[in-house]
Homo-oligomer: A and B are copies of this chain.
Amino acid sequence: MEPKRIVETTLRVRYAETDAMGVVYHANYFVWFEAGRGDFFRTAGQDYGEWERQGYYLPVSEAHARFHAPARYADVVTVRTWVEEARSRGVTLGYEVVDKASQKRLVSGWTRHICMDSNGQACRLPVDMQKLLEQS
């Protein structure tokens, strides 16, 4: 099934994100996935920070990435984010990082999230959130 909505986030590689191999350190792509995820919710009118203030959290329960080609300092990249699978108690988001100019694919991956309340208990996603994810 094709995702209905793909949200794009544009980032410029920071020197801090590179490593001694001269390329972006692999774990930083998960940070970019997170930036993409925040934009995905935000552009749908949902602010993740607001959910937290209401007592809902979406911690990462599983994460995966394949590193196809490296990004380097000052490169401009696009992170694409979409819903892979929406469930009542969680969601799986998919990501692709491409070089903005060449559209070359650099990294692909996904993160799985479970909904948690402020006591750390798994819970159902708030209704507006469920709708947002199912329609995406």
Interface residues of A (CB under 8 A from B): 12, 14-16, 18-23, 25-28, 30-31, 34-35, 38, 42, 47-49, 52, 57, 59-67, 70, 72-74
A48 to B72, CA, bound (A): 12
In whole angstroms, how far apart are the Cα atoms of A18 and B38 in the complex?
14
A42 touches B74 (CB 8 A): yes
Please, which residues of chain B bring their CB within 8 A of the CB of A72? 20, 49
24 of the cross-chain contacts (CB-CB < 8 Å) are A14-B38, A16-B19, A16-B25, A16-B27, A18-B19, A18-B20, A19-B19, A19-B20, A20-B20, A20-B22, A20-B73, A21-B52, A21-B59, A27-B34, A42-B74, A48-B73, A49-B72, A49-B74, A59-B67, A60-B67, A63-B63, A63-B64, A63-B65, A64-B64
Considering only CB atoms, which chain B residue lies closest to A114 in the complex? B67
Chain B's closest residue to A16 (CB) is B31
State how many copies of this chain the complex holds: 4
A63 (CB) vs chain B CBs: closest residue: B65
- Evaluate contact between B63 and A26: CB separation under 8 angstroms: yes
- Report Cα–Cα, A14/B38, bound state, in Å: 8
Task: Enumerate chain B residues within 8 angstroms of A64, measured Cβ to Cβ.
Answer: 62-65
